[in-house]
A and B are shown apart, each in its own frame.
Chain A
Amino acid sequence: MNQYLPYFTLLPLLGMAICAFLPGRSERLIFLTSVVTVGLHILAMLVYGVLWLLGQEAIYFFEGPILYQTHDSHFSIDFFFDRVTAAYGLTASVLTFLVLIFSRYYMHRDRGYKRYFTNVMFFFGGLNLALFAGNFETLFIGWEIVGVTSFFLIAYYRDRYLPVKNALKVVSLYRVADAALLLGIWLCHHSFERNIKFYELLDAHMLFTHFTENPVYVVVISSIFLLVAMVKSAQVPFSSWLPRAMEGPTTSSAIFYGSLSAHIGVFLLLRTFPIWEDSHVFRGIVVFIGLITSLMATMTARVQSTVKTQIAYSSIAQIGLMFVEVAMGWHLLLLFHFIANAFLRSYQLLVSPSVLSYEIHDQFFHFNPPKHPDPKTWWGKIRLTFMVWSIKEWNLDALMFRYLWTPLKTIGRALGFISVRAIVLLITPVFLVGLFLVYNRPQVPSLVQEVLPSAMALLGILLALKAFTERGKAQLNWSLVIMNQLFSALSIGLNEQFDHGQILLFLSGIVVSGAVGFWCMWKLERSGELVTLDRFHGHSFYYPGLAFVFMLASLGLSGFPITPTFIGEDLLLGKIGERQLVLLSFTALSLILDGLVTFRIYARLFLGPNTKGYHEVAFRSS
């Protein structure tokens, strides 16, 4: 039984690969490929589920291919199956199956038909990898795929401004969650001194003895996972991204943001529940967050004047209650609640365009002008207050902006006095000196040795921050990102344990992606196009192929699991010692920034309205 687990991920990925090679106009083939794949997936899930129910074991585990192994780290793709996987997996495949059939004619003749189906299949593959993951590393890969396909489906209408803006907004938050998840994995690694597998978490005795020895870890690890879950499931204060993600076709909104994507945070909490099960304080915190979210989101849903955002907030409210259910240990109820909410919100979104005629008809026969809240009463005032706050979405969107991005931008802008060119000139000698020191470590005084890695990492971050706010030539910013990555590698190289192979592994993807990126920009410039970051250029309009290649380069450069950089990233993180919190936070920040900057460069060059030539261009506000 175990050995079949990987196929639940491979099957959709295979479907996606076939879709990707089909000609864009053969709607029928694209549809058939994806629907047959997902149909088979449902059948397999059902058969597997029945056998699992009939069988003796509550869980299945399969150790997949080992991607990398040294004496202290072990990176393998593992698979795991329990009732959570069963409930999430079956819901995901049934929903995806139905939505794909729905999309067949819904998306007919859309110019991105193939892009849509390939993305949904990629998403479905990634989601299954996350759901069937047997360890955190595997989960992380799936997680990244879900995140990046979300970006592509939010920015699906890539020639308009708002989808691109909102996609960047969402992916920035996702990036924070991704980095946090990596941190969580790092902490687990250090705490358990090995790569932990999910079935091991079920060993209560092991966990108990482990955590009574390291009580701090419980709080820290769990908090980090909670943060990740809150971001991905749009809990307060991270709620505002979910309604803004409703930019793609209704079908993709239904499957992603109405249901599957939004519930993945709850899934992570279920997976990590054994870690924090015994901490009543922590469980209290989760209950609190869930309750607050469900209250605030319900009120926000009440004042929404658009159908899709109303459904989004209602979904957030129910997910808040699911947080409560996880923490209270009512997991069976939670699974039912999840299935019901996922289907209900998907359905509501799919039929949301009907609301207009239905409600107008209803109003025609039953309209009574609603009463105003009485401002003289205390309750009336409170209601009005809540209404205003809810309309303003509790300022959550502005809050995110002010506390997450503004500080970064402020630092970046503070570096405005120095030009990118000057930086490149100044920083190269520093890098070379650093490189020299890597190979001549004994000569360096020990005090310097201690701060040097952090200093290098900090330099890298400053480079990334500079790139984050720069509006000039894209090539220079691209090189800043590459240099940031090089500095990260350097800082690890200067750190105590040093492994040539791992750094090379890390850099291999960076170099290739970096070079491909430069090539794309060179091609653009040679065709007489602007390659600057001062606005969105929308080059994908005239250069869709180049846009695709550059997108791959961007993914590679930001450590997405399509190049070995990704494994290197994980391994390098593992090299950071338990006490090196400064270096760790710098490295994590640098990871976040890299992603933000590369996505920003990709978006500014290839997405948004293309105003060159005489063709239809959307208004900015539409």
Chain B
Amino acid sequence: MSHHTTRAVKNGFDEAVVLAELRHYLPTQTPLKDFIHHNSLHAFQELNFYDAIFKASGIFGFKVTFNLDEYRGLFHIGRIREDILDQVIGDRKGVSAIPEWKQKTLTQPYPEGIQPRIGRLRKGWKNVCQLDLDNLVQPVLFRILASYMDQGVAVWHFPFEDKGLLEALRLVDTNSFAGFFRSKRVRDILFDPQRCTMDYLLKELVGDESFYEQYIFDQQFSHRGWSGMAATLEQQPHSILYPKKITLREVIILELLLEMDALDTYFGRKWQPLCSQFAAEPLDLFAPVDNTELQEVYRIWQDAFEWSYYDEVLAALQHVKNSRTAEPRTHRHFQAIFCIDEREDSLRRHLEAMDKDGETFGCPGFFGVEFFFQPEHGKFYEKLCPAPVTPKYLIKEFGTKGHRKQELMYDKKSHTHLLGFLSTLSLGFLAVVRLFLTIFRPKMSPAISNAFAHMNVDGQLTIENKHPDDKENNLQIGFTVDEMAARVEGLLKGIGMVDDFAPLVYVVAHGSSSANNPHHGAHDCGACSGRPGSVNARVFSFMANHAKVRELLAGRGLVIPATTQFVGALHDTAADEIAFYDEKEISPANAVAHLKNKQTFEHALDMNAKERSRRFASINTKADLGKVRQAIRRRSVSLFEPRPELGHGTNALCFVGHRSLTKGLFLDRRAFMNSYDYRIDPDGKLLLGVIRPLPPVCGGINLEYYFSRLDNYKLGAGTKLPHNVMGLIGVTNSSDGDLRPGLPLQMIEVHDPVRLLILVEHDPEVVLKTIKTEPTLYEWFEKEWVQLVAIHPANNQFFRFKNGRFERYSPLKNQVKHAGDMKKLIETADGMKTNFIVDATRENLPVQVLTVED
């Protein structure tokens, strides 16, 4: 990012520079139809983690750590361990300083609070002019922006959206008998290209050029949701279906015009620029934030909080490693490749427990195949791969059966006049019935976002390219055999699946069904741009089953037996349902085994549902498995359920290594797991490809949960309960409110904000060399936005990455918990009493070794 270098030279107000800075600091969340997790404080990512968060807090007023009472509460319940606290203080301050700093962390009172820099200049209007400018301007501004960007809530669309915001306003003004400005002067400015500029308007409103930048920042950050959305749409116009031409600059000019309009209306023409009315120095918003002793205390506490958990994990890993005996190679019943998603941890554990001859793998859930997908009759393409990737391929669906039903209750006719009267009378009585059914018999309906509906199960896909010229909008339709082989090889080698193929290999994607949930995209697969990965699973299976692909692969030493078949599937992480695709293709020889495996999946899903149910107040975990499963399924289609599932809540770990590292451990669904076999990659060539997506994808998820948990009001979206869907692009709290990016309270309340710990099973030297290959990748580790531990395969020792190098770490904890009976573990676990952290964290179970398996 170059904005800091440009900042250094201050030659008055440079519009382009300020706009670039604004775009950098504003939220970049795209419209909610696609939910891409990212670091909420991405703008500060070039700094070291703690420096960054305290700087962000000092400038924008975010709460970025717990407060002292909360940390001390965590210490008193044992969630932060004393030995770890000592170790952290020792590491940071030296062993001799432990008593002094322990007293500071544990008992010393500090005045806590945030006085952000942002907004101070803007307060001038209220303090000096006795005028609440925000109250006069924001409702109108939001209304215009909302109407302009609206994707289809309104029946009458805001016209001229292809001309740009200001031009549209001009056209509306000239072609109607009404306008949005009351002051004639302001209206004249709107039509005068010389004066309708930021420079001119700022001169009128602010006066002193040295305040311009601060003024603009104050102004735009008083509604960062709207400004961020405009900036995002400017840069990613394709993130909405109904195109709207808009720029951040136009939004600022419009707001400046509305401010002048309000001042003109309120004071007549007799008002002075803000800065001529009081004496103050302009504030450099981005000047360094002082490091205080209190900040040091927060750093110590947060480190101690994180390492109290990490240490427990490492101790358990050590135990498993030491007690592991070589597994005899048996005849595999099946293998299953899952997404690395931490929600699949429990399903994999149960599957392996149900069938000891089953084996599971993990890899990013787009399965290495990147493409756009066009459902039959669809008018647009959907990207099905990680957000930063731009695919060159298109997969089209054809031959589907059945149509999606319409939902009468959403019919816009009920909002019209006479038809509205008639439809009210008829729909009203239907609504009574619906309301009863909604509450007492929840079931799937067109109004509910259904993971399985993403792709039609009977449809066909254009996976194989017929001819290189077969293109649509510059996208090649399907993959050639070479391209397919490259992808299959890349994936299988990356996860270390190179021999001992089972007759059936399931490629299990995931998605999530939920009702009444504008944030449903955040529950789908992050590696598929916030969509279910069903198409990817099917496409990959097709490729891996392709005879010519196998021929090519065999030539490269990767021999897949002819009897082995890949089968695509989709796991609904909310409903705990699974669907298998192209079952007709399964050979008669494998058919029986497939039936049996399906049963195994069903049993595992039963247990998975039971395990998940322990966190849901509406379900009795001890009830009969069938009932629990039914309750979980109903939950995903219940309109009254704001927590259909808990998403990535509690995520904390990311394993890169063989499954045997974690097998037999109860990780409580907190670990992303990417399969990787160091033995076939001694010099780390494959490792780079495996690690590269992890910090942005898993780290992005982790940091978004982290910050939404710590400041759910400013960095999160607040509680879901009052959310109002705005223009199909976002949610607001009220009719005149700002857009709310970030995650809602219901998704983060179980989350313990600890940074992601990536654990790589390889020689630390190789790991270090690998992450240093790419500066953007290295930055994540160097600046400590994610933590890294290498597990040396030769001696089973742990090395943590710190200050640019790996150093030996031995877990302080020398005992591990033994879980005993899985059922009992689940059934006796406590639920949280409140969602304040000290209570909430008690619900998260410690890492333990499973001895008796179910």
A294–B420 CA distance with the chains assembled, in angstroms: 10
Q: B107 at the A/B interface (Cβ < 8 Å)?
A: no
Asked whether B179 lies within 8 Å of A247 as measured between CB atoms, the reply is no
Tell me which residues across on chain B come within 8 A of A361, comparing CB atoms. Answer: 404, 449
Asked whether B176 lies within 8 Å of A388 as measured between CB atoms, the reply is yes
Contact with B along A277-304 (1 / 0, CB 8 A): 0000000000000000011001101111
A160 to chain B: closest residue by CB: B733
Q: A464 at the A/B interface (Cβ < 8 Å)?
A: no
Q: B563 at the A/B interface (Cβ < 8 Å)?
A: no
A165–B222 CA distance with the chains assembled, in angstroms: 17
Q: Tell me, rounded to whole Å, the shortest Cβ–Cβ distance linking B436 to chain A.
A: 7
Interface residues of A in 517-549 (CB under 8 A from B): none
Contact with B along A545-589 (1 / 0, CB 8 A): 000000000000000000000000000000000000000000000
Asked whether A384 lies within 8 Å of B159 as measured between CB atoms, the reply is yes
Tell me which residues across on chain B come within 8 A of A94, comparing CB atoms. Answer: 432
Asked whether B725 lies within 8 Å of A352 as measured between CB atoms, the reply is yes
Asked whether A621 lies within 8 Å of B138 as measured between CB atoms, the reply is yes
Asked whether A370 lies within 8 Å of B157 as measured between CB atoms, the reply is yes
A314 to chain B: closest residue by CB: B415
Q: Tell me, rounded to whole Å, the shortest Cβ–Cβ distance linking A429 to chain B.
A: 33
A304–B725 CA distance with the chains assembled, in angstroms: 11
Tell me which residues across on chain B come within 8 A of A34, comparing CB atoms. Answer: none
Q: A392 at the A/B interface (Cβ < 8 Å)?
A: yes
Interface size on A, residues (CB 8 A): 109
Tell me which residues across on chain B come within 8 A of A166, comparing CB atoms. Answer: 734-736
Report which of B140, B410, B435 forms a contact with A359, defined as CB distance below 8 A: B410
B639 to chain A: closest residue by CB: A351
Known: A246-B734, A348-B409, A363-B241. A621 touches B147 (CB 8 A): no
Asked whether B642 lies within 8 Å of A360 as measured between CB atoms, the reply is no
Q: Tell me, rounded to whole Å, the shortest Cβ–Cβ distance linking B544 to chain A.
A: 29
Asked whether A617 lies within 8 Å of B61 as measured between CB atoms, the reply is yes
Q: B740 at the A/B interface (Cβ < 8 Å)?
A: yes
Asked whether B414 lies within 8 Å of A353 as measured between CB atoms, the reply is no
Tell me which residues across on chain A come within 8 A of B409, comparing CB atoms. Answer: 344, 347-348, 351
Interface residues of A in 596-622 (CB under 8 A from B): 611-622
Q: Tell me, rounded to whole Å, the shortest Cβ–Cβ distance linking B553 to chain A.
A: 36
Known: A110-B721, A247-B734, A388-B172. A356 touches B518 (CB 8 A): yes
Q: B117 at the A/B interface (Cβ < 8 Å)?
A: no
Asked whether B113 lies within 8 Å of A388 as measured between CB atoms, the reply is no
Q: Tell me, rounded to whole Å, the shortest Cβ–Cβ distance linking A300 to chain B.
A: 10
Tell me which residues across on chain A come within 8 A of B147, comparing CB atoms. Answer: 303, 305, 391
Q: Tell me, rounded to whole Å, the shortest Cβ–Cβ distance linking B458 to chain A.
A: 17
Report which of B152, B171, B414, B833 forms a contact with A363, defined as CB distance below 8 A: B152
Q: B662 at the A/B interface (Cβ < 8 Å)?
A: no
Q: A421 at the A/B interface (Cβ < 8 Å)?
A: no
Asked whether A310 lies within 8 Å of B421 as measured between CB atoms, the reply is no
Asked whether B641 lies within 8 Å of A106 as measured between CB atoms, the reply is yes
B836 to chain A: closest residue by CB: A111
Q: Tell me, rounded to whole Å, the shortest Cβ–Cβ distance linking B620 to chain A.
A: 12
Q: B467 at the A/B interface (Cβ < 8 Å)?
A: no
Asked whether A306 lies within 8 Å of B714 as measured between CB atoms, the reply is no
Known: A246-B734, A298-B415. A617 touches B641 (CB 8 A): no
A620–B137 CA distance with the chains assembled, in angstroms: 14
Interface residues of B in 376-397 (CB under 8 A from A): 377-380
Report which of B32, B114, B421 forms a contact with A356, defined as CB distance below 8 A: B32
Q: Tell me, rounded to whole Å, the shortest Cβ–Cβ distance linking A249 to chain B.
A: 4
Q: A3 at the A/B interface (Cβ < 8 Å)?
A: no
Interface residues of B in 496-540 (CB under 8 A from A): 515-518, 520
A453–B424 CA distance with the chains assembled, in angstroms: 52
Segment of A210-218, A335-343, A479-487 engaged in the interface with chain B: A335-343
Tell me which residues across on chain B come within 8 A of A307, comparing CB atoms. Answer: 153, 724-725
Contact with A along B220-232 (1 / 0, CB 8 A): 0011110000000
Asked whether A344 lies within 8 Å of B714 as measured between CB atoms, the reply is no
Asked whether A246 lies within 8 Å of B724 as measured between CB atoms, the reply is yes
Q: B341 at the A/B interface (Cβ < 8 Å)?
A: no
A570–B738 CA distance with the chains assembled, in angstroms: 43
Q: A248 at the A/B interface (Cβ < 8 Å)?
A: yes
Contact with A along B414-442 (1 / 0, CB 8 A): 11110011001111110110111011000
B635 to chain A: closest residue by CB: A105
Tell me which residues across on chain B come within 8 A of A62, comparing CB atoms. Answer: none
Asked whether B113 lies within 8 Å of A310 as measured between CB atoms, the reply is no
Asked whether A105 lies within 8 Å of B724 as measured between CB atoms, the reply is no
Known: A307-B725, A384-B159. A244 touches B736 (CB 8 A): yes
Q: B180 at the A/B interface (Cβ < 8 Å)?
A: yes
Asked whether B175 lies within 8 Å of A364 as measured between CB atoms, the reply is no
Tell me which residues across on chain B come within 8 A of A340, comparing CB atoms. Answer: 424-429, 431
Known: A166-B734, A347-B409, A352-B725. A305 touches B154 (CB 8 A): yes
Q: A502 at the A/B interface (Cβ < 8 Å)?
A: no
Asked whether B155 lies within 8 Å of A367 as measured between CB atoms, the reply is no
Known: A347-B409, A355-B410, A363-B242. A308 touches B712 (CB 8 A): no
A318–B178 CA distance with the chains assembled, in angstroms: 27
Contact with B along A99-113 (1 / 0, CB 8 A): 001111111111100
Q: Tell me, rounded to whole Å, the shortest Cβ–Cβ distance linking A242 to chain B.
A: 9
Report which of A318, A354, A388 forms a contact with B421, defined as CB distance below 8 A: A318
Report which of A101, A105, A339 forms a contact with B428, defined as CB distance below 8 A: A339
Report which of A246, A313, A353, A369 forms a contact with B518, defined as CB distance below 8 A: A353
Asked whether A302 lies within 8 Å of B833 as measured between CB atoms, the reply is no
Known: A318-B421, A352-B724. A618 touches B718 (CB 8 A): yes
Asked whether A343 lies within 8 Å of B515 as measured between CB atoms, the reply is no
Contact with B along A375-396 (1 / 0, CB 8 A): 1000011111101111110000
A99 to chain B: closest residue by CB: B435
Q: A157 at the A/B interface (Cβ < 8 Å)?
A: yes
Asked whether A353 lies within 8 Å of B156 as measured between CB atoms, the reply is no
Q: Tell me, rounded to whole Å, the shortest Cβ–Cβ distance linking B183 to chain A.
A: 14
Tell me which residues across on chain B come within 8 A of A249, comparing CB atoms. Answer: 721-722
Tell me which residues across on chain A come within 8 A of B63, comparing CB atoms. Answer: 614-617
Q: A25 at the A/B interface (Cβ < 8 Å)?
A: yes
Interface residues of B in 114-145 (CB under 8 A from A): 114, 134-135, 138-140, 143-144
Asked whether B435 lies within 8 Å of A360 as measured between CB atoms, the reply is no
Q: Tell me, rounded to whole Å, the shortest Cβ–Cβ distance linking B608 to chain A.
A: 21
Q: B732 at the A/B interface (Cβ < 8 Å)?
A: yes
Lowest 6 A-B CB distances belong to which pairs? A340-B428, A375-B175, A614-B112, A384-B176, A249-B721, A305-B150
Complex A-B: 11 CB contacts under 8 Å:
A246-B724, A253-B722, A340-B424, A344-B409, A353-B731, A359-B410, A363-B728, A384-B176, A392-B143, A620-B222, A622-B737
- Listed in ascending order, the chain A residues whose CB lies under 8 Å from chain B are 25, 27, 94, 98, 101-111, 156-157, 160, 162-163, 165-166, 243-244, 246-251, 253, 294-295, 298-299, 301-311, 313-314, 317-318, 321, 336-337, 339-344, 346-348, 350-361, 363-367, 369-370, 372-373, 375, 380-385, 387-392, 397, 611-622
Given contacts A363-B241, A382-B177, 9 further A-B contacts (CB under 8 A): A105-B642, A305-B143, A310-B153, A347-B431, A351-B438, A353-B517, A353-B725, A354-B516, A360-B241
